[in-house]
Amino acid sequence: MLKRIFFFVLTNIAVMVMFSIILFILSLFGININPQSMGGLLVFAAIFGFLGSFISLLMSKTLAVRSVGAQIIETPRNETEAWLLQTVQKLAMQWQLTAPQVAIYDSPEPNAFATGARKNASLIAVSTGLMNRMTRDEVEGVLGHEMAHIGNGDMVTMTLMQGVVNTFVIFFAQIVARIAAANVREELAGVVFFIANMALQIVFGLLASIVVMWFSRQREYRADQGAAKYVGAPKMIAALQRLKSAHGAENELPESINALGIAGGKDSLMSTHPSLDNRIARLQGLR
């Protein structure tokens, strides 16, 4: 937690420096934004609320592949890889989308994830553990789930939602911090504003994360239902049951892409995934 707060402070300073640079560049073109006004503050909050989210989205595929050392299948080296490509292509046709790239990464944990900035330029990656420990019906259920994430546009939707949340966190933290600074001696106003702004962004950010995590859990349910629609509920249920027995619902992906994996979930306010038990129960209710 202390390390996260330290990096948050550094990020906050970097944001303020970057904003000053952007304001200077805009002024050279005759565009003047006054961050002291409500309208200017909202523009400031929106720029930085969405900027990081969209940069992450645009770089998501490259970063995800590198973070797990995934190998994109260009030409199948064996029958298993050929089957993977064919299955993903079949699912993409059902969604009327261009087939995503398919990659395999080395990990004993059965897991998979989908990422990409556009529906027709996405990627699905599966672990060697998933391929080795699941039947093909179960793997097909997993692929159906990841294809549903792509077809539902979950990556873009989550980016937009995170951008909106970030905007309001920055905006209201600034407003309350300004009120706090206005009620102290002038020589202390700058310090009070800086400390209050950072503290409020942490608090508001945690509260906003509860909303984002709730939405993330709902998208997992929708992806399960999408898989059930196109590959059948029994295959998706079997895949989730296998995940449950394999590692007790733990997700061992790097933290940067942890939310993308199919595994994980503990039914808490800050969990990106529902528990596997609840996901299975939902699917069983569809049959």
Each residue's pLDDT, cut to its tens digit, for the chain (287 residues) gives 445 445 545 555 555 556 666 666 666 666 665 666 777 778 777 877 787 778 878 888 888 888 889 999 999 999 999 999 999 999 999 999 999 999 999 998 899 999 998 999 999 999 999 999 999 999 999 999 999 999 999 988 888 888 888 888 888 888 898 889 888 888 888 889 888 888 888 888 888 888 888 999 999 999 999 999 999 999 999 999 998 887 544 456 666 566 677 776 677 788 888 999 999 999 987 65
Q: Phi/psi zone of residue 99: left (φ > 0), alpha (ψ -120 to 50 degrees), beta? A: beta
- Give the pLDDT confidence score for residue 230 in this predicted structure: 94
- Give the pLDDT confidence score for residue 171 in this predicted structure: 87
Q: Indicate yes or no: pTM above 0.95.
A: no
What one-character DSSP code corresponds to residue 100?
Answer: P
**Measured between alpha carbons, how far is 93 from 225 in angstroms, rounded to an integer?**
18
- Give the pLDDT confidence score for residue 29 in this predicted structure: 67
- Give the pLDDT confidence score for residue 249 in this predicted structure: 44
- Give the pLDDT confidence score for residue 102 in this predicted structure: 96
Q: Residue 198 CA to chain centroid, in angstroms?
A: 23
- The tokens for 23 are 């304001």
- Give the pLDDT confidence score for residue 42 in this predicted structure: 80
φ and ψ at residue 263, rounded to 5 degrees: -85, 170
Q: Choose the catalytic residue: 140, 146, 187, 220.
A: 146
Q: Is 146 tagged catalytic?
A: yes
- The tokens for 32 are 């003047």
H helices of the chain, in order, are 2-28, 38-68, 79-94, 128-133, 136-151, 154-181, 186-231, 233-247, 276-284
**Measured between alpha carbons, how far is 23 from 37 in angstroms, rounded to an integer?**
14
- Give the pLDDT confidence score for residue 47 in this predicted structure: 79
- Give the pLDDT confidence score for residue 40 in this predicted structure: 74
- Give the pLDDT confidence score for residue 285 in this predicted structure: 78
b/e for 182-212, b at 16 or more Cβ within 10 A? eeeeeeeeeebbbebbbebbbebbeebbeeb
CB-based contact 53:163 (threshold 8 Å):
yes
